[in-house]
Amino acid sequence: MAAVLHASVLEQAGAFRGNALLLSGPARVGKLGLALAIAAGQNCSGTRGIGGEACGACPSCLAMATGAHPDVLQVEPRATTATGKAARRKLIPIGAILDARDKTHEYETHVYEFLEVRPTHRRRVVIVNGAEHLGPEAANALLKLVEEPPHGALFLFLAEDVRAVLPTISSRSARLGVAPASDRALEAALSRAGEEADPELVEFAAGRAGVLDALETVRAALQDAREFDTALDVGLLSALEAAEALEKRLDPAWHPEALRFTWRTRPPHRRARADTALDELQGALEAYASPSLSFQVFALALRDAFGEA
């Protein structure tokens, strides 16, 4: 979907002849989808589409479709530390770059070692998803690789805020901005994919292609949030039951945003209190407080916030 909604960015990236691109734009706008489409384009050996997009049928494109392309490496900050505790601060450590510095074996593949190997298809591509989380040591270790990438590899740095990316990286990269698409473009992309463009989904997506790439999960999260919201109004017992159901289904990537979305029409002061309750729930879950108790507290706080206690 990202490739469809950001065809012009993809075209510019396809014509780019340098070593490093920095794609910036809001969360879930489709940066990762675009990066994967760029990587596919760099390695495709088939007949290109009108916009230069990858064929989807050659050996490289088929490998891409399995999600395990031998020439594509994704580097991300770890949300949890080696001890299993949730990390308070996201970071891409030097251990992601060099095997020898990865004492706790956090990363399966390391950038330096990955680039020593010749590409299986055409070009090795390293996608750094969250370039603003590169630590200074990791960024310094990357410098030489970015300036003279072995075997002509391509670096794709993805960031929400260019200003938060270390200058050593951003100054060596060509920049491309990725903006949210219009609702109309999003609706058109949905219907081309044979999906219903229901107004609620379009409003939630707010032009972000990343939402369309996780359609099923997003639809389920919206449905859960709606059911939870309705149960709050019914009564105390149903609110507590709904809290238990939500605990079982909570996907930290989508449910918090879906919940905030369902109470967007509430009065601002009530919404603010609900947001605080959600922040507190997320904090408690990160701190490994008792999950079921935390969800019950959350449901009670929401009933209070919405004036139903």
Strand partners, 129: 158
Identity of the amino acid at 213 = D
Question: Under a CB-based contact definition with an 8 Å cutoff, are residues 52 and 11 in contact?
Answer: yes
Shortest CA distance to 250 belongs to which of 220, 273, 226?
Answer: 220
- Residues lying near Zn ion in the complex (CB under 5 A): 44, 46, 54-55, 58, 61
Q: Nearer to Zn ion by C-beta: 49 or 150?
A: 49
Q: Nearer to Zn ion by C-beta: 69 or 219?
A: 69
Shortest CA distance to 181 belongs to which of 204, 199, 202, 206?
Answer: 206
CB of 121 to Zn ion, least distance (A): 9
Question: Under a CB-based contact definition with an 8 Å cutoff, are residues 144 and 97 in contact?
Answer: no
How far apart CA 103 and CA 94 sit, in angstroms, is 10
Q: Nearer to Zn ion by C-beta: 64 or 231?
A: 64
CB of 7 to Zn ion, least distance (A): 17
CB of 37 to Zn ion, least distance (A): 11
CB of 46 to Zn ion, least distance (A): 4
Q: Nearer to Zn ion by C-beta: 46 or 135?
A: 46
CB of 202 to Zn ion, least distance (A): 31
CB of 33 to Zn ion, least distance (A): 17
Q: Nearer to Zn ion by C-beta: 48 or 85?
A: 48
The full DSSP string for 69-123 is -TTEEEE---SB-TTSPBPSS--B-GGGT-GGG-TT---SS-HHHHHHSPPSSS-
Q: Nearer to Zn ion by C-beta: 61 or 189?
A: 61
Q: Pseudo-torsion of CA 176, 177, 178, 183, nearest 10°? A: -140
